[in-house]
Structure formats: C-alpha cells, structure tokens
Amino acid sequence: MKDWTLGNFPLALRVVFTSFLLTIGVGLMMAGAQIMMTHGMADGKVGLSLDDIVYSYYGNKTGSKIEGKLNGSMQAMAPDEVRLDIIKWARAGAPEADWEPKYKAVFAQYCAICHSAEQTALPNFTQYDNVKHVTETDEGASFSSLTRVSHIHLFGISFIFMFVGMIFAFARFNQTWKIVLIITPFAFLIIDVLSWWLTKLMPEFAWFTIIGGFGYSVASGIMLFTSLAQMWLPRFRDTTA
C-alpha cells in the first residue's frame, strides 16, 4: 500500500489541487497589486509604506487631503500664494459662501485642466461638493467599512488557507514545521484584521498590519510551492508498491 503523500495521489486529484493552487497563486499576486494601487498610494508616494497604512486606517488628523496634496504632489500646480490661500480656506472649513465669488474661479484656473469631468479618475473640482470633500479632515477608515471588510476577509481567506493547508497536510515535511506552517496563516490573518482596528485607534499598530500580511504570504507561499513540487517531481513518487 502506497503512503498518502502528494506524489502518490491519483492524477485527477493532483490536477484539481494544482489548478486550485495555481489560481490561488495568481489571486495572491492580484491582491498584492491591488493593495499597492489603493493603500500603496495613500501617502501620495508609490509603494506600500508604514505611512500608507497609517493614512488608510488612522487617517491624517493633522490636516485635510487637499492640504497634504498642496504641500506634496500638487505643490507645483499653483503659485505659493494661491496654494496658501486655498489651504487657509480649507482650514476654515471651506465655507460655501466663498465658492461662487472666489474659489470656483481659482480652481478653474489652476486645477480644472486635470480635475474636471472629462478626467474621470480624479475628483472633479469644478463642483463645490467634490472640493469640500477633500478639505475635510481625513478620519481614515470608518468603523462600518472596517466591520464589513473584516468579516469578508476572515470568512473568505480562512477558506483559502484551509484548502491550502489540507493539501499541504499530505506533503512530506518535518512534522513540527508542517504544523507550524499550517497554523501560521490563520494566526497572522487574525493579527492582520486586529491590526486594522488597532491602527484606526493608534497609528503605531500599523506595524502589525505589515507583519501579519508578510507572515501569511510567506507561510502560504512555502505551502503552495512545496505542494506543487511534490505533486509533480518524480522523486516524490513512491514507485516501490
């Protein structure tokens, strides 16, 4: 009787497992790309950094988005006196009374070339409401969006880890490390989700988001590659029985 290791599984099972693992692999890369494109740009710079996570969950309570941008990537878009004037208006709560007589024209002159209806990806600054929105203090993620994302994340991703772990359970691997690797993604998933909530309250916890995400990516990566290798490399096949 052959032992129950991946190399000895019937072809059809290995094909199912392989298809699943490859799809998950592509999915993980897409998830990574999506994180880079949403959270990764939160501080206005390309690439995921601690600041991105702090901005995404805790927010940037010292100022509004427009102030941050006008001192950052939008600095070159208007002369200093115009920038400072917009910042002053934003700090005063961007009163609508000043929009028609003054700021509508300012935004039209300096910002609307890019921030107008035709450039749909950017907020349209020909409309007061959109300008108002970026002048509000950035409170980070809302509690309602956190509860929604948390439960989707926990339910959805734990299924992925269960199947990856179940397949890997049949790999030839040091028993202790096998158990550690199977538990790790679940543990780090909980750390990751908890860290969003903690970061919302205290920005220092952003580290846990990075550690959590890194931890389960590495653990599932090892399980994924080990399982794929053992299903298809001839030396993991038991030819004696």
State how far the Cα of 109 lies from the Cα of 102, in Å rounded to an integer.
11
Choose between 107 and 196: whose C-beta lies nearer to ligand HEC.
107
Distance CA 6, CA 43 (A): 45
Does 134 engage in binding with ligand HEC (CB under 6 A)? yes
23 part of the interface to ligand HEC, by CB under 6 A: no
- Of these, 9, 57, 65, 87, which contacts ligand HEC (CB under 6 A)? 65
The minimum distance between CB 104 and ligand HEC, in angstroms, equals: 13
Q: Does position 113 bind ligand HEC by CB under 6 A?
A: yes
Please give the C-alpha separations between residue 91 and each of 66, 112, 136, in angstroms, as whole numbers.
Answer: 10, 21, 9
Length of the chain: 241
Return the CA Rg of the chain: 25
Question: Rule CB under 6 A: is residue 74 a binding residue for ligand HEC?
Answer: yes
Options 8, 21, 40, 115; binder of ligand HEC; rule CB under 6 A: 115
Which of 193, 240, 238 shows the shortest CA–CA distance to 216?
Answer: 193
Per CB under 6 A, 77 contacts ligand HEC: yes
Does 39 interact with ligand HEC (rule: CB under 6 A)?
no
Of 204, 95, 90, residue with least CA distance to 138:
90
> Cα(236)–Cα(14) distance, rounded to whole angstroms?
13
Question: To 10 degrees, the CA torsion angle through 91, 44, 195, 185?
Answer: 170
- What is the Cα–Cα distance from 83 to 88, expressed in whole angstroms? 9
Span near ligand HEC by CB under 6 A; candidates 96-104, 113-121, 139-147, 171-179: 113-121
Nearer residue to ligand HEC within complex by CB, 1 or 121: 121
Max intra-chain CA distance, the chain: 88
Output the smallest distance, CB 149 to ligand HEC, in A.
19
Only one of the segments 74-82, 153-161, 162-170, 194-202 lies at the binding site for ligand HEC (rule: CB under 6 A); that segment is 74-82
Which residue lies nearer to ligand HEC by CB, 75 or 147?
75
Q: Which residues bind ligand HEC (CB under 6 A)?
A: 44, 65-66, 69-70, 73-74, 77-78, 86, 110-111, 113-115, 122-123, 134
